[in-house]
Amino acid sequence: KCGLLQEVVAAAVVSDEKHVLEEFSWILTNVTSGTSEQTEEVVNLGCVPLLVNFLSHQSLTLQHQSLWALGNIAGNSAVHRDLIAHSGVVHYIVERLKGCDTATRHNASERKIAFLAPWVLSNLCRFNNPSPSIDLARMLIPILLLILSNPTGLFSQTELRDCCWGLSYLSDGYADERGCDPLKEMVCTEFQLVPLVVALVGKASSNNVSILVPCVRFLGNICSGTDAQTLVVVTAGVLSVVPPLLEAEVDRLIKKEVVWLISNCISSSTALVKIIAQSGLLSTIFTMMTTASFIVQKECSWAIRNFAMIGSPEMVPFFVGAGGIIVIKRMVEYEDTQIVLNGLEALLSTLRGGGEILDQITIMVEEAGILDQLELLQCSTNTSIAD
């Protein structure tokens, strides 16, 4: 507000002193790590071209600091993401990573740039309103894959995590007017990323939150697309690698993501629901509806509701036989509104799809005490439940 930043920029523009420029880029890094408005001011003052020019300076310290500031700007908004994406930063990162070899390990400045690059790339993948363009994604994905393959063993879990989040961001797009998400389609077909990510999930330690959360989120995003895209994930073997991630000792954030992934699979075609039923995952979700933490239970309630709403003559007996009525009782007794509503929808769908076993289901509902609970819910002050 006092105009100091403008003065600093003006002074840096006319300076060729390495130490001055390094301090200037450090100032911009600090400012762009602040509020969105502060980052906007840095952009409006014309600092992006300056920072990009610094990437070709002989000082690796200046290059590193400038790349950091540019990464901050890219992570500020979709507009700034696209600005940085078309500024030459991607080309710079590609050239830098091409030069990563054994010598890089022994040069601290080179290592800093290499370690920072995946985070910058992940910011270039962010935001879905609008999502990154197909052309940008097509540039970024091969670089992310190169880092994930980690051929020289240079990159740590931190850099691999950033790449996984980048892929997760790219898979979280919006469908167009035809109901098609071009980014989901591209990662499934053109780059065939799904088998790679499923393999990463299978290899990761069951409590490796930093890798598993973005990887499972990526797969869940794909499964929120078309039936064909969900089938790609299932065919890649996801149902064989996720059961260990639902065990009691696994971090709740991982379990929440896994249940969300399964829930998205269940929302797909009846054929895929049969595969889920045969995998034994539904019984695991029923158990977690009682034993898991709240955030996991809430996700379980969605999966149970989605399965029950299939309502096919084949799936309803399976749902009931697996203990679905007892689980519904647990859900409608819950204090959380959304879990109660999911339980009520599951109950209604089960009764509607009961067919030849409707009388049996009705008896089970009564014996479970659900009718008594429904009478209590009719008196609820929450109209969405009472209605």
- C-alpha 309/C-alpha 374 separation (Å) is 19
The model's pLDDT over 200-209, given as tens digits with 9 standing for 90+, comes to 999 998 889 9
The model's pLDDT over 157-178, given as tens digits with 9 standing for 90+, comes to 999 999 999 999 999 977 666 6
Alpha helices (runs of H) in 45-77, residue ranges in sequence order: 47-54, 60-74
Q: In this structure, is the dihedral angle defined by the CA atoms of residues 80, 84, 86 and 90, taken in order, positive or negative?
A: negative
Task: Supply the mean pLDDT for the chain.
Answer: 91
Q: Exposed, middle or buried: residue 88 (CB in 10 Å: 0-12, 13-18, 19+)?
A: middle
Which pLDDT score is estimated for 177?
A: 62
pTM of the model: 0.91
Q: In this structure, is the dihedral angle defined by the CA atoms of residues 348, 349, 353 and 359, taken in order, positive or negative?
A: negative
Is the pLDDT assigned to residue 38 strictly greater than 90?
yes
Is the pLDDT assigned to residue 102 strictly greater than 80?
no
Give residue 190's pLDDT band: very low, low, confident or very high (50, 70, 90). confident
The answer for residues whose C-beta is within 8 angstroms of residue 17's C-beta and 6 or more apart is none
Is 276 within 8 Å of 233 (Cβ atoms)? no
Give helix 78-85 / helix 108-124 axis angle, nearest 10°. 130
* Side-chain-facing half-sphere of 215: CA atoms under 13 Å: 29
The answer for residues whose C-beta is within 8 angstroms of residue 193's C-beta and 6 or more apart is 141, 145, 167, 187, 218
Give the whole-number percent of the chain exceeding pLDDT 90. Answer: 69
Report CA Rg, the chain: 26
Mean per-residue pLDDT for 278-299? 94
